Amino acid sequence: MSQREITYAKAINEAMSEEMRRDKEIFFMGEDIGIYGGAFGVSVGMIEEFGETRVRDTPISEAAIIGAAAGAAATGSRPIAEIQFSDFISIGIDQLGNQAAKMRYMFGGRAQVPMVVRAPIGSGTGAAAQHSQSQEAWYCHIPGLKVVTPSTPYDAKGLLKSAIRDNNPVVFLEQKLLYRKKGLVPDEEYTIPLCKGEIKREGTDLSIISWGRMVPMVLEVAEKLAKEKKCEIEVIDPRTLMPLDKQIIIDSVKKTGKAMIVHEAVLTGGYGGEIAAVIADSEAFFHLDAPIRRVGGFDVPIPYNPELERNAVPTPERIEANIRELLQ
């Protein structure tokens, strides 16, 4: 495949646009996504191509956005709903968790709810406590939802196309600081299957499981330690958190004998605890020669002050210090 370098935001834009050209039942809705092009510029140019019927600016009501998407999906459309900040999915949690997630089950499989809720997640932009949370564990706790967290432009495009084609509700979480990150993306059509993780870096000494913005950070630390000839770290990106590709994690930990989970969300109740349980409940447990280590955000609201904000979540320095301690 021929490739070109584009941003994570552009990859998402391409995925939506290509799918909307392919299927007339797909439409896109959210706050300021039309003429303004979205809070982070992801949908620039889409209203000019698809018009106001298929790229719909909505009122400032997350309950209305998610509720309308669920109703439209149940009656034959395939909506993509953008929530301007993931923190405010909570305002539509009844529509998402009690309606969209449950409908297929409650109708014995005769109803489908093919909708995608896209939302920027996480810290790093100085947006303070109400606009900077990482709540992926909330959505993973709701049966009936699929939860996707791409870490590269390539993954973002391929996974979003698969999410749009899926007949179940998908929560698609995009870390804000990744929007301007560039990466190689094929010119040709491709998709990435949901529920399949990827080994981002091969290694033999330690398995680190991470997702979203933490993946490039972990890879940076892994390369630094490799150059110092300290260790070779294997980096696993689940990409889809729910349903989770458990086998890729289990196989990696069996190989390396050590496991660390790194996520931006606060440590208490974070999804890293679920992954630790997956390892502990599997044959990988008998290959461990050190306790499973979790590195997450501190249990505080995200501060506005930039230095405090940076240190409220894992940093390269903290990740490296935990690796060195675990490998002693």
Cβ contacts of 38 within 8 Å, gap of 6 or more: 30, 32, 44, 82
DSSP string, 20-78: HHH-TTEEEEETT-SSS--TTSTTTTHHHHHHHHHEEE--S-HHHHHHHHHHHHHTT-E
- How many angstroms separate the CA atoms of 324 and 225, rounded? 9
- Could you give the count of Cα atoms lying within 13 Å of 134 in the half-sphere of its Cβ? 33
The CA distance from 287 to 289, in Å, is 6
Q: Is 131 a catalytic residue?
A: yes
Structure tokens at 33: 């996504």
Distance CA 22, CA 54 (A): 13
Burial of 274 (0-12, 13-18, 19+ CB in 10 A): middle
Q: Name which of 217, 212, 111, 121 is nearest 167 in CA terms.
A: 111
* Residues identified as active-site: 131
